[in-house]
Chains A and B, each alone.
Chain A
Amino acid sequence: EAGVAQSPRYKIIEKRQSVAFWCNPISGHATLYWYQQILGQGPKLLIQFQNNGVVDDSQLPKDRFSAERLKGVDSTLKIQPAKLEDSAVYLCASSLDLQGNEQYFGPGTRLTVT
Protein backbone atom coordinates (compact mmCIF):
# COMPACT_ATOMS: atom_id res chain seq x y z
CA GLU A 1 0.00 0.00 0.00
CA ALA A 2 1.44 3.35 -1.01
CA GLY A 3 1.91 5.85 1.76
CA VAL A 4 1.08 9.53 1.93
CA ALA A 5 2.94 11.41 -0.78
CA GLN A 6 4.04 15.03 -0.52
CA SER A 7 5.88 17.37 -2.83
CA PRO A 8 8.12 19.18 -2.98
CA ARG A 9 10.35 17.81 -0.23
CA TYR A 10 12.25 21.07 0.15
CA LYS A 11 11.49 24.66 -0.75
CA ILE A 12 13.40 27.88 -0.21
CA ILE A 13 11.65 31.19 -0.87
CA GLU A 14 12.07 34.81 0.06
CA LYS A 15 9.65 36.52 2.41
CA ARG A 16 6.55 37.93 0.76
CA GLN A 17 6.70 35.27 -1.96
CA SER A 18 4.04 32.60 -2.33
CA VAL A 19 4.43 28.84 -2.11
CA ALA A 20 2.22 25.78 -2.51
CA PHE A 21 2.52 22.26 -1.18
CA TRP A 22 0.81 19.18 -2.52
CA CYS A 23 -0.38 16.06 -0.72
CA ASN A 24 -1.78 12.78 -1.98
CA PRO A 25 -3.26 10.71 0.87
CA ILE A 26 -3.52 6.96 1.11
CA SER A 27 -6.16 5.67 -1.24
CA GLY A 28 -9.56 5.46 0.42
CA HIS A 29 -8.68 7.68 3.35
CA ALA A 30 -11.50 10.15 3.88
CA THR A 31 -9.77 12.44 6.34
CA LEU A 32 -6.75 14.57 5.52
CA TYR A 33 -4.72 16.78 7.84
CA TRP A 34 -2.11 19.46 7.39
CA TYR A 35 0.31 20.06 10.26
CA GLN A 36 3.01 22.65 10.78
CA GLN A 37 6.13 21.50 12.64
CA ILE A 38 8.47 24.29 13.70
CA LEU A 39 12.00 23.24 14.63
CA GLY A 40 12.10 21.97 18.19
CA GLN A 41 8.34 21.63 18.49
CA GLY A 42 5.76 18.96 17.91
CA PRO A 43 3.42 19.13 14.94
CA LYS A 44 0.53 21.57 15.19
CA LEU A 45 -2.70 20.92 13.31
CA LEU A 46 -3.50 23.61 10.74
CA ILE A 47 -6.52 22.18 8.98
CA GLN A 48 -8.53 18.97 8.81
CA PHE A 49 -10.65 17.83 5.87
CA GLN A 50 -13.32 15.17 5.73
CA ASN A 51 -13.62 14.26 2.05
CA ASN A 52 -13.68 17.72 0.42
CA GLY A 53 -15.17 19.59 3.38
CA VAL A 54 -13.30 21.44 6.13
CA VAL A 55 -13.81 19.97 9.61
CA ASP A 56 -11.47 22.23 11.55
CA ASP A 57 -9.37 25.18 10.42
CA SER A 58 -9.31 27.04 13.72
CA GLN A 59 -5.50 27.21 13.82
CA LEU A 60 -4.98 28.14 10.19
CA PRO A 61 -3.73 31.75 9.76
CA LYS A 62 -6.36 32.55 7.18
CA ASP A 63 -4.90 35.92 6.24
CA ARG A 64 -2.04 34.15 4.50
CA PHE A 65 -2.71 30.40 4.49
CA SER A 66 -5.27 28.59 2.38
CA ALA A 67 -5.95 24.95 1.67
CA GLU A 68 -8.26 23.00 -0.55
CA ARG A 69 -9.22 19.43 -1.29
CA LEU A 70 -11.45 19.88 -4.27
CA LYS A 71 -12.21 16.29 -5.26
CA GLY A 72 -11.84 14.76 -1.84
CA VAL A 73 -8.48 13.21 -2.67
CA ASP A 74 -5.39 15.38 -3.24
CA SER A 75 -4.91 18.56 -1.29
CA THR A 76 -2.86 21.72 -1.65
CA LEU A 77 -1.73 24.12 1.05
CA LYS A 78 -0.73 27.63 0.02
CA ILE A 79 1.03 30.43 1.80
CA GLN A 80 0.80 33.93 0.36
CA PRO A 81 2.69 36.03 1.30
CA ALA A 82 5.21 34.04 3.30
CA LYS A 83 6.82 35.36 6.48
CA LEU A 84 10.06 34.35 8.12
CA GLU A 85 8.16 32.61 10.91
CA ASP A 86 6.55 30.27 8.38
CA SER A 87 9.84 28.37 8.11
CA ALA A 88 8.88 24.87 9.21
CA VAL A 89 8.16 21.36 8.03
CA TYR A 90 4.64 20.97 6.67
CA LEU A 91 3.30 17.50 7.25
CA CYS A 92 0.31 15.94 5.58
CA ALA A 93 -1.47 13.00 7.20
CA SER A 94 -4.50 10.92 6.37
CA SER A 95 -6.79 8.57 8.23
CA LEU A 96 -9.48 6.17 7.18
CA ASP A 97 -12.21 7.92 9.11
CA LEU A 98 -13.04 11.12 10.92
CA GLN A 99 -12.10 9.73 14.31
CA GLY A 100 -8.49 9.71 13.16
CA ASN A 101 -7.50 6.95 15.50
CA GLU A 102 -4.57 6.09 13.29
CA GLN A 103 -3.09 8.86 11.21
CA TYR A 104 -0.51 8.09 8.55
CA PHE A 105 2.02 10.82 7.87
CA GLY A 106 3.86 11.80 4.74
CA PRO A 107 7.57 12.73 4.74
CA GLY A 108 6.83 16.44 4.90
CA THR A 109 7.94 19.54 3.01
CA ARG A 110 10.69 21.57 4.61
CA LEU A 111 10.11 25.27 3.93
CA THR A 112 12.78 27.86 4.49
CA VAL A 113 11.77 31.52 4.21
CA THR A 114 14.70 33.93 3.87
Chain B
Amino acid sequence: AQSVTQPDIHITVSEGASLELRCNYSYGATPYLFWYVQSPGQGLQLLLKYFSGDTLVQGIKGFEAEFKRSQSSFNLRKPSVHWSDAAEYFCAVGAGWGKLQFGAGTQVVVTP
Protein backbone atom coordinates (compact mmCIF):
# COMPACT_ATOMS: atom_id res chain seq x y z
CA ALA B 1 0.00 0.00 0.00
CA GLN B 2 1.17 3.50 -0.69
CA SER B 3 2.03 6.00 2.04
CA VAL B 4 3.23 9.57 2.28
CA THR B 5 5.40 11.11 4.98
CA GLN B 6 5.84 14.81 5.55
CA PRO B 7 8.53 14.96 8.24
CA ASP B 8 7.99 18.60 9.18
CA ILE B 9 4.74 19.39 10.97
CA HIS B 10 5.48 23.09 11.21
CA ILE B 11 7.93 25.43 9.47
CA THR B 12 8.53 29.11 10.13
CA VAL B 13 10.17 31.17 7.41
CA SER B 14 10.89 34.86 6.96
CA GLU B 15 9.25 36.72 4.13
CA GLY B 16 11.61 36.77 1.16
CA ALA B 17 13.52 33.69 2.29
CA SER B 18 13.49 30.39 0.46
CA LEU B 19 11.22 27.53 1.43
CA GLU B 20 11.58 23.78 1.05
CA LEU B 21 8.97 21.30 2.20
CA ARG B 22 9.87 17.64 2.36
CA CYS B 23 7.81 14.73 1.14
CA ASN B 24 8.73 11.05 1.10
CA TYR B 25 6.51 8.39 -0.37
CA SER B 26 6.24 4.66 -0.47
CA TYR B 27 4.73 3.11 -3.55
CA GLY B 28 5.44 -0.02 -5.54
CA ALA B 29 5.23 1.47 -9.01
CA THR B 30 5.84 4.84 -10.60
CA PRO B 31 3.66 7.16 -8.58
CA TYR B 32 1.58 10.11 -9.51
CA LEU B 33 2.66 12.86 -7.09
CA PHE B 34 0.89 16.03 -6.10
CA TRP B 35 1.30 19.06 -3.87
CA TYR B 36 -1.80 20.85 -2.58
CA VAL B 37 -2.13 24.01 -0.50
CA GLN B 38 -4.93 24.69 1.99
CA SER B 39 -5.54 28.19 3.33
CA PRO B 40 -7.69 28.63 6.44
CA GLY B 41 -11.34 27.95 5.71
CA GLN B 42 -10.59 26.98 2.14
CA GLY B 43 -10.50 23.77 0.21
CA LEU B 44 -7.33 22.28 -1.18
CA GLN B 45 -5.81 23.87 -4.26
CA LEU B 46 -3.50 21.95 -6.57
CA LEU B 47 -0.03 23.54 -6.79
CA LEU B 48 1.62 21.05 -9.11
CA LYS B 49 1.71 17.42 -10.15
CA TYR B 50 4.19 14.88 -11.49
CA PHE B 51 3.25 11.96 -13.68
CA SER B 52 6.33 11.30 -15.80
CA GLY B 53 9.04 13.02 -17.80
CA ASP B 54 11.06 15.95 -16.52
CA THR B 55 11.67 15.43 -12.82
CA LEU B 56 11.58 19.16 -12.07
CA VAL B 57 7.99 20.33 -12.16
CA GLN B 58 6.82 23.91 -12.22
CA GLY B 59 3.57 24.87 -10.57
CA ILE B 60 1.45 27.86 -9.76
CA LYS B 61 2.37 30.70 -7.42
CA GLY B 62 6.09 30.30 -8.15
CA PHE B 63 6.41 26.81 -6.64
CA GLU B 64 8.41 23.95 -8.06
CA ALA B 65 9.04 20.36 -6.99
CA GLU B 66 11.66 17.78 -7.84
CA PHE B 67 10.98 14.05 -8.10
CA LYS B 68 13.90 11.93 -6.94
CA ARG B 69 13.18 8.27 -7.47
CA SER B 70 16.34 7.10 -5.68
CA GLN B 71 15.29 8.96 -2.55
CA SER B 72 11.54 8.38 -2.91
CA SER B 73 11.11 12.09 -2.45
CA PHE B 74 9.10 14.89 -4.00
CA ASN B 75 10.17 18.08 -2.22
CA LEU B 76 8.44 21.40 -2.80
CA ARG B 77 10.43 24.62 -3.13
CA LYS B 78 9.92 28.33 -3.53
CA PRO B 79 12.85 30.73 -3.91
CA SER B 80 11.24 33.67 -2.11
CA VAL B 81 8.13 33.36 0.04
CA HIS B 82 5.42 35.96 0.37
CA TRP B 83 3.20 36.50 3.39
CA SER B 84 0.33 35.04 1.36
CA ASP B 85 2.14 31.68 1.23
CA ALA B 86 1.26 31.06 4.87
CA ALA B 87 -0.95 27.97 4.72
CA GLU B 88 -0.89 24.21 5.14
CA TYR B 89 0.74 22.16 2.43
CA PHE B 90 -0.10 18.56 1.62
CA CYS B 91 1.82 16.08 -0.45
CA ALA B 92 -0.18 13.26 -2.01
CA VAL B 93 0.54 10.11 -3.97
CA GLY B 94 -1.90 8.75 -6.49
CA ALA B 95 -2.42 5.06 -7.02
CA GLY B 96 -4.40 5.65 -10.15
CA TRP B 97 -8.13 5.97 -10.71
CA GLY B 98 -8.32 9.01 -8.49
CA LYS B 99 -7.25 7.37 -5.25
CA LEU B 100 -5.05 9.86 -3.45
CA GLN B 101 -3.10 9.15 -0.26
CA PHE B 102 -2.28 12.39 1.55
CA GLY B 103 0.48 13.18 4.00
CA ALA B 104 -0.33 14.76 7.35
CA GLY B 105 0.59 18.21 6.09
CA THR B 106 3.15 20.91 6.90
CA GLN B 107 1.98 24.19 8.40
CA VAL B 108 3.97 27.14 7.04
CA VAL B 109 4.17 30.37 9.02
CA VAL B 110 5.66 33.45 7.33
CA THR B 111 7.19 36.13 9.56
CA PRO B 112 7.82 39.74 8.51
Q: Which A residues are within 8 Å of any B CB, using their own CB? A: 3-4, 31, 33, 40-45, 48, 55-56, 91, 93, 95, 98-108
Contacts and interface: CB of A to CB of B under 8 A. Distances in A.
A99 B46 CA distance: 15
Contact of B46 (A31, A43, A102, A106): A102
A101 to B, nearest CB: 7
Nearest to B92: A42
Contacts of A48: 98-99
A107 B96 CA distance: 24
B98 A108 contact: no
Interface stretch (B63-71, B77-85, B102-110): B102-110
Interface of B: 4, 32, 36, 41-46, 49, 51, 90, 92, 94, 96-100, 102-105
Contacts of B42: 107
A107 B97 contact: no
18 contacts: A4-B43, A33-B98, A40-B105, A42-B103, A42-B104, A43-B100, A44-B102, A55-B98, A56-B97, A91-B43, A91-B44, A93-B43, A100-B97, A101-B94, A102-B49, A103-B46, A103-B98, A104-B43
A42 B2 CA distance: 14
B99 A56 contact: yes
Contact of B98 (A42, A95, A104, A107): A95
B51 A103 contact: no
Given A4-B43, A40-B104, A42-B92, 18 more contacts: A33-B98, A40-B105, A41-B105, A42-B104, A43-B100, A55-B97, A55-B98, A91-B43, A91-B44, A100-B97, A101-B94, A102-B46, A103-B98, A104-B46, A105-B43, A106-B43, A107-B42, A108-B43
